[in-house]
Amino acid sequence: MEAQMEQIIAKISTLQTLQEVENLRVEIMGKKGILTQQFAELKNLPDEQKKIQAKILNTFKQEFESKLIEKKESLFTAQMNENLSKEAIDASLFSALRPKSSGHPIYQTMDRIIDFFVNMNFSIQSGPLVEDDFHNFEALNLPKFHPARDMQDTFYFKDSMLLRTHTSPVQIRTMEKDSLPIRMIAPGSVFRRDYDLTHSPMFHQVEGLVVDKKDSISFSHLKYILEDFLHFMFGDVKIRFRSSFFPFTEPSAEVDISCVFCKGEGCRVCSHTGWLEVLGCGIVNDKVFESVGYKDVSGYAFGLGVERFAMLIHRVNDLRSFFETDLRVLEQF
């Protein structure tokens, strides 16, 4: 028995798992365990021997129990540490399971527009979304009660502050702070009281403005860069400039591309004209230069709606689907 006890104690140190610890405990101290049996047999021994044997068994029992508990604790700690390190989250790790976002289609389109003009050496300018009447209207040759203000359904605040209805006020702000030559675009959100298939109360525009010395900027510069730009955005389309009106440009034009849906044949989207209007532009009206104190300069400006571009590029017919944040829709881009 003595030798067997030593073996049992020695075995404890070789145990690898909590289950093995439990198995050994049952083997030794369970109902049918070796030690349990030994204790049961004590009664069969003569008194003298019973005492000695009981002492041996108790000493063994104590040692066995304390060694087993020690082992159990160390295995438990080891297992917990292992679990902790396995379950630990490394937030910096790349997860192959997460699909890489390609960005919202509006911003994809915006980025592509910006790429073109940055490559053409335009700077990027910005202005406040809450504008004053001067920058949004007055300085752009839209005096109070001018009928053209009706073209832009405005959200007003107190004290003639408003949500900017277009990115054109950034033209004014840039001319106020910078000097010639000016070659800028202003991407950003704008606001109008409009909501239907093709209009939303918040949408995005990209404004463009080029100003330099008198007689150095002409309509042909404007035409050249916009044709290049529209081919970059829409590929092989036909382009036409249609005379139009904006208070801040004179002469003004609206630019059409041949319909990307029917290739100019005529369809529902282009109202059977074969053409789609994509931007407004013109030669900067001298009244605008006067309002910022510029003299002897010339320039051109243009403005476009990013949502309209995105709808045509991705053939989306309801603008509102861009804003509903439905992943099933957005994941298609």
Q: Using CA atoms, how far apart are residues 259 and 289, in angstroms rounded to an integer?
A: 36
**249, 258, 291, 298: which one contacts ligand PHE (CB under 6 A)?**
249
**Is residue 164 at the binding interface for ligand PHE, with CB under 6 A as the rule?**
no
Region from 77-85, 86-94, 232-240, 274-282 binding ligand PHE, contact rule CB under 6 A: 274-282
Residues 117-156 vs ligand PHE: string with x where CB under 6 A?
----------------------------------------
Q: What's the number of CA atoms in the CB half-sphere (13 Å) around residue 212?
A: 8
Nearest alpha-carbon partner for 183 in 208, 154, 201, 160: 208
Please report, for residues 103, 130, 260, 305, 311, the alpha-carbon distance to residue 234 in angstroms, rounded to integers and kept in the order given. Answer: 20, 33, 8, 14, 12
Q: Which of 273, 281, 217 is nearest to 254 (CA)?
A: 281
Among 184, 301, 310, 311, binds ligand PHE (CB under 6 A): 301
Half-sphere exposure of 239 (CA within 13 A, CB side): 20
Examine residue 166 and tell whether it contacts ligand PHE (CB under 6 A): yes
Task: Write down the least CB distance from residue 168 to ligand PHE, Å.
Answer: 4
Residue 250 in marked binding region: yes
d(CA 1, CA 79): 34
Whether 180 and 203 have beta carbons less than 8 Å apart is answered as no
Stretch touching ligand PHE by CB under 6 A, among 31-39, 129-137, 228-236, 279-287: 279-287
- By beta-carbon proximity to ligand PHE, the closer residue of 105 and 247 is 247
| Neighbour count for residue 176 (Cβ, 10 Å) | 13
- Residue 208, strand partner residues: 185, 302
Question: By CB under 6 A, how many residues form the interface with ligand PHE?
Answer: 11
Kindly state whether residue 303 participates in binding ligand PHE, applying the rule CB under 6 A. yes
Taking contact as CB under 6 A, which single stretch among the options 24-32, 38-46, 228-236, 301-309 is the one that binds ligand PHE? Answer: 301-309
- Minimal distance, residue 127 CB to ligand PHE, in Å: 13
- What is the three-class DSSP state of 298? strand
> Cis ω on the peptide bond leading into residue 181 (within 30° of 0)?
yes
The set of residues, in sequence order, having a beta carbon less than 8 Å from that of 157 and lying 6+ positions away, is 130, 163
Cβ atoms of 185 and 168 within 8 Å: the answer is no
What character string, x for contact with ligand PHE (CB under 6 A) and - otherwise, covers 218-247? ----------------------------x-
Residue 85 has φ and ψ, to the nearest 5°, of -70, -30
Per CB under 6 A, 258 contacts ligand PHE: no
| Residue of the chain from 169, 188, 282, 299 that contacts ligand PHE (CB under 6 A) | 282
Q: What is the dihedral of CA 153, 158, 163, 167, to 10 degrees?
A: 100
Residues 73-112 that bind ligand PHE (CB under 6 A): none
Contact between 302 and ligand PHE per CB under 6 A: yes
The least distance separating ligand PHE from the CB of residue 177, rounded to whole angstroms, comes to: 19
CB-nearest residue to ligand PHE: 303
Contact range with ligand PHE by CB under 6 A, out of 18-26, 173-181, 211-219, 276-284: 276-284
Binding residues: 250
Binding residues for Mg(2+): 250
Q: Which residues bind ligand PHE (CB under 6 A)?
A: 166, 168, 207, 246, 249, 280-282, 301-303
